[in-house]
Amino acid sequence: MTLSLMVQGTASDVGKSVLVAGFCRIFTQDGYRCTPFKSQNMALNSGITADGKEMGRAQIFQAEAAGLAPDVRMNPILLKPTSDRKAQVVVMGKAMCSMNAVEYHEYKPQLRQQILLAYHGLAAETDIMVLEGAGSPAEINLRERDIVNMGMAELVDTPVILVADIDRGGVFAAIYGTLALLKPEEKARIKGVIINKFRGDVSLLQSGIEQIEALTQVPILGVLPWLDLDLEDEDSVALQVGKYDQPEPKTEACLDIAVIQYPHIANFTDFNALAAQPDVYLRYVSSASELQGADLILLPGSKNTLGDLAWLKTQGIDQAIIAARQKKVPIIGICGGYQMLGKQIVDGVESGLTQMAGLGLLDTETEFASEKQTAQIRGVVAPALSGMLKSCGGQPIEGYEIHMGTTRLGQQVTPFARIHLRNGEEKIEFDGAVTQDGLVMGSYLHGLFDQNTFTRPLLNQLRIRKGRVPLENVAFDYRRHKEKQFNRLAASMREHLDIARIYQLMREHKS
């Protein structure tokens, strides 16, 4: 008999994704087979399963917390915004079409059967399903066709825990207002509330907890403290609220790495492994002046490559990047950032623009196509690279591709890597491009920096350029680092939440 639990929130970015991961780790530690599930996810951070299908990164790291390989059924519907009004609709890992908000709202009922098939298929293979909502269940204008909050809870008859973020202020009003806007049968599904991200002495909350419980007749199941965890975020809201701001470098000897934060930044979690390195100070920048002093400049992926390239030019950041190149500052572009570094991009797919000159730092040209390429990749860095990348030559790498462009290389660049596996099938292909001096590089591989065999030689070359001694025997393992984060999260949740009561709630609801 499969148990289930759904985590909903009073708003976006209250910590739902992280708490779902924490519950998955707790239930797994307790010997249960546990599976995360989010019917509909809107995010530009996505990854690729072993069979080449696309899903949200939040459900990927939740699967990792549960000790599972990511399965596209865990996130059957993925929405990837391409502008302020439209989003690409990805169904069961494959891009279907683009829709505006009104079109998608009207289309949602047609997705219910697909969602139920995915959910029940997973439920048949597991002991506990841990579901995640999106935004808030109190978005009453969207309730009629809801497939991700109370609509989803009703479809599979699951109890709900509501999460509220005290760090943003007004936590009791958020709890009360959310519950007040729900229908009586919806409120009856909410079996408890978790107050998240608390800083200070919890005893100061006690009188408020007693009052809110009396007003709502819903128990508070615990107060979680603010946890400084290094886990992936679902989308770029975390950048907007400054979660990734680092006011001061770790030490004076740290490498200063600047990531361009353009409006449609995608897969910024590519750089989490870099930020976790002991000698890296990584920052996100959105103005030309902020590039000064950077030891390495990174151009991330984008869901609107030409739109973000136009933004770079409007902000004058393009000229700042070109000036940095002239000063021999290393520059690396990933996916859309790789495309921007070339001479020209021909679009007609992602944006209303048809073509645009790139930054001209790589002798490449990119042409977009309507078919998206999604694949898990394994290969090796090209052995004959020079300059900054020489010590990385021949090192094994792996990652995943999510892009709609084909890039042609000119005579002034060489491939960055040789690919030998694509979605588990043997291939002989090449990825990326590198200038002859090794100072400008582009690659389609997301997750490239997760491998220490590539990242540490790169960072040590940057240290040498800065006049620092290379760090030897730094066996940084990003997967092990994430495991420690999951275990810290689970330990804190066990300490501050009534886990026994949560088990009881699931069993009582099922019976």
**How does pLDDT run across 414-460, given as a tens digit for each residue?**
999 999 999 888 888 999 999 999 999 999 999 999 989 999 999 99
Whole-angstrom distance, CA of residue 383 vs CA of residue 372: 29
The least confident of 64-68, 240-244, 354-358, 505-509 is: 240-244
User: 365: which strand partners?
Assistant: 344, 408
Residue 252 has pLDDT above 70, yes or no: no
One-letter amino acid identity for 53? K
As its CATH architecture, domain 3-231+483-510 has 3-Layer(aba) Sandwich (3.40)
Beta strand pairing call for 3-9 and 280-285: unpaired
Residues 6+ apart with CB under 8 A from 116: 155, 156
Q: What percent of the chain has pLDDT over 70?
A: 95
Question: Please, what is the average pLDDT of the chain?
Answer: 92
* CATH node for 254-467: 3.40.50.880
Please, which pLDDT band fits residue 248 given cuts at 50, 70 and 90?
low
Residue 241 has pLDDT above 60, yes or no: no
Q: Is 4 helix (H, G, I), strand (E, B) or coil?
A: strand
Most confident of 14-28, 252-266, 472-486: 14-28
DSSP-assigned letter for residue 471:
P
* Beta carbons within 10 angstroms of residue 292's beta carbon: 13
Tell me the backbone φ, ψ of residue 115, rounded to 5 degrees.
-65, -45
Q: Are 6 and 131 in contact (CB under 8 A)?
A: yes
DSSP-assigned letter for residue 466:
T
pLDDT in tens, 281-296: 999 999 999 999 999 9
Q: What is the pTM of this model?
A: 0.87
Residue 511 has pLDDT above 90, yes or no: no
User: 161: which strand partners?
Assistant: 7, 192
Long-range contacts of 70-76 (CB under 8 A, 24+ apart): 71/122, 72/118, 73/37, 73/118, 73/119, 73/121, 73/122, 74/35, 74/36, 74/37, 74/38, 74/118, 74/122, 75/37, 75/38, 75/39, 75/41, 76/39, 76/40, 76/111, 76/114, 76/115, 76/118
Residue 132 has pLDDT above 50, yes or no: yes
Closest by CA position to 183, among listed 152, 147, 143 = 143
Residues 6+ apart with CB under 8 A from 366: 339, 342, 344, 345, 346, 358, 405, 406, 407, 408
Domain with CATH 3.40.50.300 in the chain: 3-231+483-510
Residue in the structure block whose two tokens are 């439209």:
86
Tokens describing residue 40 = 């509909």
Residues 6+ apart with CB under 8 A from 13: 165, 237, 238, 241
Cα-Cα-Cα-Cα dihedral sign, residues 66, 426, 446, 452? positive
pLDDT in tens, 31-56: 999 999 999 999 888 999 999 999 99
Tokens describing residue 389 = 């990348």
Closest by CA position to 46, among listed 86, 8, 79 = 79
Q: What percent of the chain has pLDDT over 90?
A: 77
User: 356: which strand partners?
Assistant: 345
Whole-angstrom distance, CA of residue 341 vs CA of residue 356: 12
Whole-angstrom distance, CA of residue 67 vs CA of residue 102: 38
One-letter amino acid identity for 273? A
Would you name the residues annotated as active-site residues?
335, 446
Domain with CATH 3.40.50.880 in the chain: 254-467
